[in-house]
A and B are shown apart, each in its own frame.
Chain A
Amino acid sequence: DAKTTQPTSMDCAEGRAANLPCNHSTISGNEYVYWYRQIHSQGPQYIIHGLKNNETNEMASLIITEDRKSSTLILPHATLRDTAVYYCIVRLYNAGNNRKLIWGLGTSLAVNP
């Protein structure tokens, strides 16, 4: 299983870009990187995912290094509502096509006014 390493916590000023790093040095060629976040007392919320190309959607951008061993989630203009725990996950699948997600402890992002 490819595992991920993230900083335990980060701070960001409101209105600035939040850059959340993730290390996944053992990722295999056909495993995707997913990002979710979890706001207190809510279920996780999908943000973005990618394989090797950079991706952007209405919530964030995902930058994946050329060797795919690390990635960065970018929230371009962080707001107070972006305060949450951010999870970087490499999707595991086996012969049964199980798409279960293996979760670490994530990065607790605090956006400050």
Chain B
Amino acid sequence: GAGVSQSPSNKVTEKGKDVELRCDPISGHTALYWYRQRLGQGLEFLIYFQGNSAPDKSGLPSDRFSAERTGESVSTLTIQRTQQEDSAVYLCASSLGTGARSNQPQHFGDGTRLSIL
């Protein structure tokens, strides 16, 4: 497809388990973002990747959260030892990168709805 793809769309897991969320950005988009959205709230920035530069991890809430991206392709967000407070929708976005294209909008997937029991 042409849009940002995220999987799984829903994930239910027990407290203490690890989860891995996947994002396939739009082809050619060098910038990739992860956000978290709790029920009834706006989006909360987690991490940003731009090409081969070091990622901006300033939004990660704890060391239980980590993310990887290989080149300009797929990214995975991993949450270790999940807690009930981690329950939220995790959204991924991609955009064309910096420089002359730095004003390009972010395009979002439909997110992964994570529920921690």
Interface set of A (CB-CB < 8 Å, partner B): 32, 34, 41-46, 49, 87, 93, 96-106
Contact = CB atoms under 8 A, between A and B. Distances in A.
A42 B103 contact: no
Contacts, number: 55
Prevailing SS type, chain A contact patch: loop
Contacts of A45: 108
B91 A99 contact: no
B59 interface: yes
Of the candidates A34, A93, A103, the one having the most CB atoms from chain B within 10 angstroms of its own CB is A103
B45 A100 contact: yes
B103 A32 contact: yes
A99 B108 contact: no
A105 B42 contact: yes
A106 B43 CA distance: 10
B56 A96 contact: yes
B102 A101 contact: no
Interface in B98-117: 98, 102-103, 105-111
A96 B103 CA distance: 15
Contact of A99 (B31, B43, B111): B31
Given A32-B103, A43-B4, A44-B108, A97 B98 contact: yes
A87 B106 contact: no
Contacts of A49: 103, 105
B41 interface: yes
Given A34-B105, A43-B93, 15 more contacts: A32-B103, A41-B110, A43-B108, A43-B109, A44-B43, A45-B108, A49-B103, A93-B102, A96-B53, A97-B98, A98-B48, A99-B95, A99-B98, A101-B33, A102-B45
